[in-house]
Amino acid sequence: MNNPGSDKTFKPPQALAPTPQLYDELVGDGMENLAKATVAEILPINSGSVILDDGCGTGAGTTAVFDAVTDKSNITIKGVDIHEGALEVYKKKAAEHQWPAEAIKADAAKLDSINDDTFTHVIGTAFLFVLPEDGVGSIKEIHRTLKPGGVAVFNSWAHVPNMDPLRVASAKTRPEGTPEIRGGMDKWEDSAFLRGVIEKGGFASDKITMTKRDVYVTATTIQRYATMLWSFIGGTTKAGWLESDAEKWDEAIEIVKAELRKADGFKELDDGRLRLKFVANIAVATK
């Protein structure tokens, strides 16, 4: 999300440092709510299910599963991720909640320790669009390790309400001809693209069903949210941050706030936080 498009080192002094903690604050409860909406598409999950939470991160998908099932006694989950720090959090959550879940450090495209036809379900939430080659290699491994008749569920964002405000702020506060802020995930907005990636991974077209679901995300105050957004993404153009961005910082933040308020589903809550409506593409693929 914060990968720079330029090698320029200048950064406005007002810009917040892009730490993992700041990113967690920025996304609010978005990953958890996306996971809930995604897992809902494959319910019920019955006793005896063996589940892979692929790219499990800190456990949003696993949490969604155990929040949704009533009989947890005979369900097992393997959470796979390549990031040790995320797995440490996952392990702590599993111990705290007494989940029957095992954390495995592995590249999702090389699940060498897992046999063919192992899982009844695979969850890949907020997953494919951050992987090399659109995650096709990982889908091939999912297809291999999924039992015949098993289901895998994936998602991508069909609409995010926070990119257009940034583009408007950039256009209004920067010189004409300044490169546009990168979208990064624009191609994933089309559900056909998500379907095509899953097909490349080995799933038959007639075994894939697609749907869209609204995902409401609650975050911090609008001032803080706009500042985090602009700090994270404002400098990702091919030109990087401009010297003039420091002078026009406050103007840009006010534009972002004004545009966010125009977004469909925007609401400022009684406690000062904001709520935004995202839209997710969700794909269920059967082997």
**Could you report the per-residue pLDDT of 226-237, keeping only the tens digit for each?**
999 999 999 988
- Residue 48: both structure tokens together: 């005896």
pLDDT band at 2 (very low <50, low <70, confident <90, very high): very low
Residue 192 has pLDDT above 90, yes or no: yes
Residue 18 C-beta-side C-alpha neighbours within 13 Å? 14
How many whole angstroms separate alpha carbon 71 and alpha carbon 51? 14
Residue 142 has pLDDT above 60, yes or no: yes
Q: What is the CATH number of domain 23-286?
A: 3.40.50.150
How many whole angstroms separate alpha carbon 286 and alpha carbon 116? 15
Q: Helix or strand or coil: residue 92?
A: helix
* pLDDT, tens only, 32-44: 999 999 999 999 9
How many whole angstroms separate alpha carbon 45 and alpha carbon 186? 32
Quote the pTM value: 0.90
pLDDT band at 205 (very low <50, low <70, confident <90, very high): very high
pLDDT band at 211 (very low <50, low <70, confident <90, very high): very high
Name the percent of the chain lying above pLDDT 70.
97
* pLDDT, tens only, 238-270: 899 999 999 999 999 999 999 999 999 999 999
Whole-angstrom CA distances from 128 to 69, 135, 190 are 25, 5, 14
How many whole angstroms separate alpha carbon 34 and alpha carbon 64? 9
